[in-house]
């Protein structure tokens, strides 16, 4: 199988490391992970749960930076190889349509996607409760806020990289304002990135006996990308254990023309907390996918680890598709 991925920027140097000889899993960790560690820049204690894209022959990213006062904001970073990053010292300065400052109270867990000639940043924020924020840019110099797509409470919004039947498509997870002990993935449609509707449930949590790692809540992770089988997306699933929540990574394949329809979805996880930097941190036992890069059959996945650092894993798209189909709960 030769996966068909959407045409974006040419990847001259996709981050990559060969599978370890003792690994048989479809996804394996970069051996030098974490790629971003504690105290990456002055005033920022931790960077995690972040998103990247190819840009002008290199890479650019939006990063959740937990400041030393404990308040999260979004920072811009650049990299030549997708592994070693340099960050802007100040958080992204958002403006409104008139160019006036328009900053959220705080912002976290950003996603980044290119649709046609525009880059969109989607994040979680406070707007009378947990809500989704949005902004657009064409040059990564000016970041213009858009209308919030939904009323509270909602998190984990991920925009598709192209329109279908003239509509933008957005995945999200209705929630509450706390550490939500529930949550399913929904899809919504918009003709203009302002008015959203036709909300449909895409994926629900699973019964414990069927797939325990995703029985408490689930949320969209990386931006979906198109393959011969459909839209491939990495998502997080959560189980409530005696030690609290544990976040793991799974994969799902959505229908090409109707992404509200799930074709395949992993019963076993692809990646679960096991490495020390995933098991230990400010929030232990977390693998939280937020972005992926593709080049041919190769994929590199970026994920937050233990709400403290950024991890990276690699795989072959054809193997992940085969694994997802073979072990599907759909």
Q: What does the pLDDT look like over 154-212, one tens digit per residue?
A: 999 999 999 999 999 999 999 988 778 899 999 999 999 999 999 999 999 999 999 99
What is the percentage of the chain residues whose pLDDT exceeds 70? 97
Q: Six-digit token pair at 114?
A: 């290119």
| C-alpha distances out from residue 167 to 107, 110, 138, 188, 263, Å | 26, 22, 20, 10, 21
Measured between its terminal Cα atoms, the distance across the chain in Å is: 22
User: Is the model's pLDDT at 220 over the cut of 70?
Assistant: yes
pLDDT attached to residue 1: 47
Following DSSP, what letter does each residue of 230-295 receive, concatenated? Answer: EEEEEEEEEEEETTEEEEEEEEEEE-SS-TTSEEEEBSS-SB-S-SHHHHSSSS-SBEEEEEEEEE
Strands 72-79 and 58-67: antiparallel
Summarize the confidence of residues 2-29 as an average pLDDT.
78
pTM of the predicted structure, to 2 decimals: 0.96
pLDDT attached to residue 8: 39
pLDDT tens-place string over residues 104-144: 999 999 999 999 999 999 999 999 999 999 999 999 999 99
Cα–Cα distance measured from residue 51 to residue 112, given in angstroms and rounded to the nearest whole number = 6
Cα–Cα distance measured from residue 52 to residue 61, given in angstroms and rounded to the nearest whole number = 4
pLDDT tens-place string over residues 199-212: 999 999 999 999 99
pLDDT attached to residue 10: 53
9: pLDDT confidence band, cut at 50, 70 and 90?
Answer: very low
Nearest to 273 by CA among 242, 295, 246: 246
pLDDT attached to residue 6: 44
| C-alpha distances out from residue 27 to 20, 63, 129, 299, 319, Å | 11, 23, 36, 9, 9
Sorted by where each starts, the structural domains of the chain and their CATH numbers stand as 27-326 (2.115.10.20)
User: Is the model's pLDDT at 219 over the cut of 80?
Assistant: yes
Cα–Cα distance measured from residue 183 to residue 174, given in angstroms and rounded to the nearest whole number = 6
CB 208 within 8 Å of CB 227: no
Sort 34 into a burial class: Cβ within 10 Å, 0-12 / 13-18 / 19+. Answer: buried
Residue with tokens 């929540």: 245
Query: In sequence order, which residues have a C-beta less than 8 Å from that of residue 23 and are 6 or more positions away?
Result: none
| C-alpha distances out from residue 6 to 114, 162, 226, 228, Å | 11, 9, 6, 11
Residue with tokens 């109270």: 105
């Amino acid at each position: 199988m030769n996966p068909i991925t959407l045409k974006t920027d040419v990847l001259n140097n996709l981050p990559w490391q060969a599978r370890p000889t003792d690994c048989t899993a479809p996804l394996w960790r970069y051996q030098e992970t974490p790629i971003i560690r504690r105290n990456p820049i002055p005033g920022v204690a931790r960077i995690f749960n972040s998103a990247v894209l190819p840009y002008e022959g290199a890479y650019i990213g939006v990063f959740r930076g937990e400041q030393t006062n404990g308040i999260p904001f979004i920072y811009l970073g650049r990299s030549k190889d997708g592994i070693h990053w340099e960050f802007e010292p100040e958080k992204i300065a958002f403006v409104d349509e008139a160019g006036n400052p328009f900053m959220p109270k705080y912002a976290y867990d950003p996603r980044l996607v290119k649709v046609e000639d525009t880059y969109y940043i989607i994040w979680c924020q406070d707007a009378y409760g947990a809500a989704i924020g949005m902004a657009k840019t064409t040059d990564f110099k000016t970041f213009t806020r858009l209308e919030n797509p939904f009323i509270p409470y909602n998190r984990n919004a991920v925009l598709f990289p192209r329109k279908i039947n003239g509509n933008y498509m957005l995945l999200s997870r209705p929630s509450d304002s706390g550490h939500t002990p529930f949550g399913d993935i929904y899809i919504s449609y918009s003709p203009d990135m302002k008015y959203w509707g036709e909300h449909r449930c895409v994926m629900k949590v699973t019964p414990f006996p069927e797939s325990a790692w995703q029985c408490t809540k689930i949320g969209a992770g990386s931006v979906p990308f198109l393959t011969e089988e459909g839209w491939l997306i990495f998502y997080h699933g959560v189980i409530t254990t005696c030690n609290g929540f544990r976040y793991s990574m799974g994969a799902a394949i959505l229908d090409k023309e109707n992404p509200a329809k799930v074709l395949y979805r992993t019963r076993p996880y692809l990646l679960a907390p096991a490495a020390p930097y995933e098991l230990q941190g400010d929030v232990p036992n977390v693998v939280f996918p937020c972005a992926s890069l593709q080049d041919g059959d190769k994929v590199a996945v970026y994920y937050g680890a233990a709400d403290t650092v950024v991890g990276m894993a690699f795989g072959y798209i054809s193997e992940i598709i085969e694994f997802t189909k073979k072990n599907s709960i759909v």
